[in-house]
Structure 1
Amino acid sequence: MTPAVAALIVAAGRGLRAGAGSPKQYRQLGGVPVLCRTLAPFLAESRLGTVLVVTGAGDNDRYDDAISRLPQSARTRLLAPIEGGETRQDSVRAGLEALAASGFTGTILVHDAARPFVSPALIERALAAGAESVAAIPALAVTDTVKRVDATGQIEETLPREQLVSVQTPQAFAFQPLLAAHRAAHAAGAAGFTDDSAIMEWAGHRVATFAGDSMNLKLTYPGDFELAEQRLARPLVTRTGTGYDVHAFTEGDHVWLGGIRIPHSRGVTAHSDGDVALHALTDAVLGALADGDIGSHFPPSDPQWRGASSDRFLAFAANRVRQRGGRIDHLDLTIVCEGPKVGPHRDAIRARIAEIAGLRLDQVGTKATTSERLGFTGRGEGLAALATATIRLPEPE
């Protein structure tokens, strides 16, 4: 069995150095709250079964507003937020204790909410490193000369930069050792740790490193927000993807189309719930991203997807677009079958697709047709769907 993996997003700080008089994790960045941008790639990662946010006291309304921008199907994977403490160390410990109380064991990724540009590739590297090590952190080589100064600003020492790295989040840990280290540090009154790897070092654990990402900017000062806005303001280019899916009929009493359960005299043969509409739309979005296909992200050989609800697949693809700073302009779907009759359910299908992908209703087109009794659909042996996705992504730098 694949070990459980959770993400703990630390969003309890006040972020006063960033200016603007409000916690930086709730400030707007490109018209979207920072926390929403940070959460999107974690919620898009299918191997993360649980995502928990640690918030600051009195931030409930800000938190609710931030996550309201995420698709409803993605929000279902969020646990109720936990209130943090006075320091980052206190906040992480509070989150770990909440996960422990829920019975969680496995691998934990700890990430700062103020890093909204975390990439799927960096999360992938964190997951891989966490599977191999008790503690592993993303690191970047230091390219500037680094010097140590005294209290007056005078140079005391030039440090050998080939032995230095700067570190980022998400950091990956075996859950129980990290929890034990936090508990031990708290009991000993050991404080002032600026990240969780430092606590693991204090507890006697070796910490491995893996490749970080220079684009994984942490928002700390007002200038960081200016740079982030400039990055998001890059011209958007339009890209189009297509998708196609088919399933054969078998014994049953319903089919799923566009996230709607429709009564029918037959069911479909499928590993998941067999929703050809959502499968085709997922492939269309992934195609526009040049990001593989539904089978590469949700392989039918993996038993965790047996009978899975296909809304998770489309929500995953939509979140991949947002994480890359893009947007979905339009989804267009054609369902091909002799039965069931799609017309009576067309509006419900459109509305459900819009809800899953986080779009307005006028951004979703849904049509149905027959194949004039020709081919396997015409003979009533199955049904098919074709989809087109139009998205916009920032131009590569």
Structure 2
Amino acid sequence: MRAGAIIVAAGRGLRLGGPVPKQYQAIAGEAVLARTIRAALACPELSSVTVAIHPDFAEHYRRAVAAIDDARLSLPVHGGAERADTVRLALESLEDAAPEVVLIHDAARPFASPGLWSALVAATSGGAGAIAAEPVVDALWRQDGECADVPVPRAGLWRAQTPQAFPFAPLLAAHRAAAASDAPPALDDAEVFRRAGGIVRLVPGEPDNFKITTAADLARAGRMVAARETEMDIRIGHGFDVHRFCDGDHVTLCGVQIPHTRGLLGHSDADVGLHALADAIYGALAEGDIGTHFPPSDPKWKGAPSHIFLSHAAERVRARGGRITNVDVTLLAERPKIGPHAAEMRATVGRLLRIGADRVGIKATTMERMGFVGREEGMAAIATATVILGAAGEA
């Protein structure tokens, strides 16, 4: 399912004090907005991320995202006078792309996990909307001046978070209808969608997915990041693979099919890059190699696409409460030329691993006509993966 994300950063957001809006202030040296964007890009279902900004803070935005190198991050759009206007303008910027699903997220919620994003996309099946939310567990009181007046029953009450996910075309139509009506402003996009006749599902939110609004919130976010960094169990794995050439008209490298005068021989699709990378991840986990998990003696893996192996390795990281922070692959070949395909390879590997393309290195070198690679008898690949395990890996 093709999904797009809209991150709303258009407000001035000056509640923290000073001239810099909260979404551009730093947590451990990185802007809140940058962390929010990275969290969105870690969701494999997202084909694009669009940020709606206030035009006065274009330079703040440019600096915040300068280190993010991912083709899915689109050019920003300018927001409107109200939040609803901002969302509508951002939706209209996606009209030509027309994703099946769109997720709306606050710029100042940098800790939504990839799993939450994915759960919301899945919950839009059948044309429903879906919001992240947590049930209210505290006692509720209605205020009378400075005093508690009457208690409010909390049964069935939920605290809404973002992201909120919706089928794209109905949400755009609902926002256009809302803009043309005299109805009171909606509380959020879920109310806009429901007023237009849609249904909205509740998806369990996350305690850490709080919105940074005050200086105390920013300090809490800093403590969370610092605590996770001190708990880091950092692992580095290395992988190496080699395949000989055979008859064929293409090779598959890092998930991308490239026309060539030869093919690569292997039990699976012989993607030497993904094989080396999967072994690097398994190595970081001390969990063997591809052959350990997918024995070549098993005929069901004959001709299998190598993305299966890499996705399994990534799932093993997540199963141990970890995350992959970056990977690097060097392809050894005289031909074909890798440079024209490197960007697509980085994007493909990033999607498979649920990390941004700015965390994927793909490069190539020849062997100066030496050895089996130099004689064009085959290709090889060397890969490195950095993995963080434990509580810190879930950030």
Both proteins in one fold, TM over 0.5? yes
Whether contact under 8 Å (1:28, 1:34) holds in the other structure is: yes
C-alpha deviations, 1:258-303, integer Å up to 9, x for none?
8999998634479x99763365336635874899x99x9xxxxxxx
- The DSSP-based 3-state class of the residue aligned with 1:109 is strand
How far is 1:142 from its partner?
1.1
How far is 1:254 from its partner?
8.1
Partner of 2:155: 162
Q: Which amino acid is the alignment partner of residue 140 of structure 2?
A: V
Structure 1 residues 160 and 30: alpha-carbon distance in aligned structure 2, compared to 1, 3 A threshold: same
- The DSSP-based 3-state class of the residue aligned with 1:49 is strand
Structure 1 residues 367 and 140: alpha-carbon distance in aligned structure 2, compared to 1, 3 A threshold: farther
Partner of 2:39: 41
Whether contact under 8 Å (1:334, 1:369) holds in the other structure is: no
Partner of 1:238: 234
Structure 1 residues 69 and 103: alpha-carbon distance in aligned structure 2, compared to 1, 3 A threshold: closer
Whether contact under 8 Å (1:140, 1:167) holds in the other structure is: yes
Partner of 2:106: 112
Whether contact under 8 Å (1:333, 1:367) holds in the other structure is: no
Q: Indicate whether 1:189 and 2:185 are aligned.
A: no
- The DSSP-based 3-state class of the residue aligned with 2:276 is helix
Q: Indicate whether 1:90 and 2:85 are aligned.
A: yes
Structure 1 residues 251 and 233: alpha-carbon distance in aligned structure 2, compared to 1, 3 A threshold: same
Whether contact under 8 Å (1:18, 1:219) holds in the other structure is: no
How far is 1:345 from its partner?
9.5
Residue of 1, 6, 9 corresponding to 1:8: 6
Structure 1 residues 161 and 345: alpha-carbon distance in aligned structure 2, compared to 1, 3 A threshold: closer
Q: Which amino acid is the alignment partner of residue 88 of structure 1?
A: R
The CA RMSD over aligned residues, in Å, is 4.8
C-alpha deviations, 1:214-267, integer Å up to 9, x for none?
111211111111000001112033223344555553456886878999998634
Whether contact under 8 Å (2:369, 2:375) holds in the other structure is: no
Residue of 146, 166, 170 corresponding to 1:153: 146
Residue of 266, 279, 290 corresponding to 2:262: 266
Structure 1 residues 262 and 160: alpha-carbon distance in aligned structure 2, compared to 1, 3 A threshold: closer
- The DSSP-based 3-state class of the residue aligned with 2:4 is strand
Whether contact under 8 Å (2:130, 2:200) holds in the other structure is: yes
1-side partners of 2:256 and 2:118: how far apart? 32
- The DSSP-based 3-state class of the residue aligned with 1:163 is coil
Superposition pairs for residues 182-261 of structure 1, below 5 Å? 182-234=175-227, 235=230, 236-243=232-239, 245=241, 247=243, 249-251=245-247
2-side partners of 1:265 and 1:249: how far apart? 10
Partner of 2:350: none
Whether contact under 8 Å (2:237, 2:282) holds in the other structure is: yes
- The DSSP-based 3-state class of the residue aligned with 2:165 is strand
Structure 1 residues 256 and 205: alpha-carbon distance in aligned structure 2, compared to 1, 3 A threshold: closer
Q: Which runs of 5+ in 2 are unaligned?
A: 294-304, 347-355
1-side partners of 2:239 and 2:219: how far apart? 38
Superposition pairs for residues 1-397 of structure 1, below 5 Å? 3-71=1-69, 74=70, 76-100=71-95, 102-150=96-144, 152-234=145-227, 235=230, 236-243=232-239, 245=241, 247=243, 249-251=245-247, 266-268=262-264, 276-277=272-273, 280-281=276-277, 284-285=280-281, 288=284, 328=326, 340=334, 358=358, 382-392=378-388, 395-396=391-392
Superposition TM-score, scaled by structure 2 size: 0.72
Whether contact under 8 Å (1:25, 1:35) holds in the other structure is: yes
Whether contact under 8 Å (2:272, 2:381) holds in the other structure is: yes
Q: Which moved more, 1:243-252 or 1:230-239?
A: 243-252
Whether contact under 8 Å (1:135, 1:205) holds in the other structure is: yes
2-side partners of 1:173 and 1:332: how far apart? 35
Q: Aligned residue pairs: how many?
A: 355
Structure 1 residues 200 and 266: alpha-carbon distance in aligned structure 2, compared to 1, 3 A threshold: same
How far is 1:172 from its partner?
0.9
1-side partners of 2:164 and 2:360: how far apart? 36
Whether contact under 8 Å (2:235, 2:386) holds in the other structure is: yes
C-alpha deviations, 1:292-343, integer Å up to 9, x for none?
x99x9xxxxxxxxx999xxxx9xx99xx9xxx89855xx676767xx6389x
Identity over aligned pairs, percent: 41
- The DSSP-based 3-state class of the residue aligned with 2:178 is helix
Structure 1 residues 106 and 335: alpha-carbon distance in aligned structure 2, compared to 1, 3 A threshold: closer
